[in-house]
Structures are given as structure tokens and as C-alpha cells.
Amino acid sequence: ETATPASAQVSTFRSAECPFEGIDFGFFALIPEDNGWECGYVTVPERHADPDGSTIEIPVAILRASSGGAEAPLFLAQGGPGGSAFEVFTLLLEGSAVAAGRDIVIFNQRGTSFATPDLSCAESFDIAVELLEADETEADRLAMQAVVDCQERLAAAGVDLSAFNSVENAADVPLVAQALGYGRIDFYGVSYGTLLDLHLMRDHPDALRSVILDSVVP
């Protein structure tokens, strides 16, 4: 199964304050914008085969090249699935040589932190203390019930959970690039991000100049 080719769709970018925290030095903190990050959201179809249907928003952060930007932009995807790329990559890349000659684009994948909708399950975090105190059988029951409660809550809110899969996820990437005004991109994926890499290579090869598959985190 593949989603509708990205070339058949048009997405839009809107600027917004960066949703993630900057570097905290204790006595003062640098907000992301102070370090050159530009943030916002790209609107994409919830289902790429239905470009006129419901839409979702993908959060992005752009760090412009410090010396001209002649190279293809580098897109970075976190693993998980469900990990937040903002919490790691924004701290590693500021001032690095990697960012000198190219734009860096960090994005959180559909359904993850800061995206709309955000499918995080607060129900699982709320029982953390109970899980620590329970025996294995009870802990398994509590954990499963939390997932069921989360699923029922999201479904009651009208979220089509079946649209949040790797095929649709990969189809978001070319639209994000188009909305930001880029052509072909270099794409880095770590852990689950390597599977996203493979879907991109299969379904959207024209969007890619190169890919980096950074193993799988055990």
C-alpha cells in the first residue's frame, strides 16, 4: 500500500513560536529563537489518498545554514516510534559543522509531541507509581488498561487512529519539504526512523538526494 504521490498535493507552512525549550543555564535560559531556530507547522492530509479530507499538523524547526546553504537541506527524524526529535537534535546541532553549509530541518512525526493531534497517552504516565508497586501480573493488567483507556479517549475525540501509520508518515515528509520551499533532501533516521527511511526510498525516491540509516536502538 502506498499513499498518494506528494507531487499531487499542496501543503502550507505557518510560522509559530518554537514549542520546545531552549538551553537552560540555571541563571538564565536561551529560547530556541535566540539560537537561530525558526519554528512552525506544516498542514498535511490525514490520509494522503484523500487530499481534500481532514488535515493534521506537523511541527517543524528550521536552522538556517550559517554560510550560504549550498548543500541540500538535512531532515532529521527521531525513533520510537513516538520520540520527540526536538528534545535531542536541537541541542546537538547548534554551532556544529553539519549546520554550516546546509539548512537543518527537525520535525516531529504525525501524532507525536507538539503535533496536532498529539496521541500521547497520559493514562500510561498517570499509573507510573502503581506500576512500580504492583506485581508483574497486576502491572501488565494496569498497563493494558491504560492503553485501552487512551485508545477509547482518542477515538471518542474523533481521531482516526488507523491513519497514523508508517506509510502515511513517510508521505508527510515530501510535503513538509515542499511547504518549506525545498527540492530534494538528505534524510537522517535513527532507530524507527530507519524504517521511515525505507518507506521514503520505496514510495518517494524523487524527494531524496541521500539517506542515512542510523541503526536500531535496542
Instruction: Provide the 8-state DSSP code for 25.
Output: -
Q: What digits encode the pLDDT tens for the residues 31-80? A: 666 677 899 999 999 999 999 999 999 999 998 887 766 688 999 988 88
More confident residue, 174 or 28: 174
Mean pLDDT across 122-148: 90
pLDDT bin (cut points 50, 70, 90) of residue 22 is low
Q: What digits encode the pLDDT tens for the residues 76-119? A: 988 888 888 887 777 666 667 777 788 999 999 999 989 999 99
Residue 28 has pLDDT above 80, yes or no: no
pLDDT at 145: 93
pLDDT at 69: 62
Long-range interactions of 169-172: CB distance < 8 A, separation 24+: 169/81, 169/109, 169/110, 169/196, 169/199, 170/3, 170/196, 170/199, 170/200, 170/203, 170/204, 171/2, 171/3, 171/4, 171/6, 171/44, 171/48, 171/203, 171/204, 172/42, 172/44, 172/58, 172/109, 172/110
pLDDT at 58: 95
pLDDT at 91: 67
Residue 7 has pLDDT above 50, yes or no: no
pLDDT bin (cut points 50, 70, 90) of residue 148 is very high
Angle made by CA atoms 195, 113, 57, in degrees to the nearest 5? 85
pLDDT at 217: 77
Residue 12 has pLDDT above 90, yes or no: no
Distances (CA, A) of 17 to 13, 39, 44, 203: 13, 6, 19, 32
Residue 213 has pLDDT above 80, yes or no: yes
Contacts of 118 (CB under 8 A, 6+ apart): 111, 112
CB 39, CB 19: distance < 8 Å: yes
pLDDT at 30: 57
Q: What digits encode the pLDDT tens for the residues 172-192? A: 999 999 999 999 999 999 999
Termini Cα distance of the chain:
28
Mean of the per-residue pLDDT values of the chain? 86
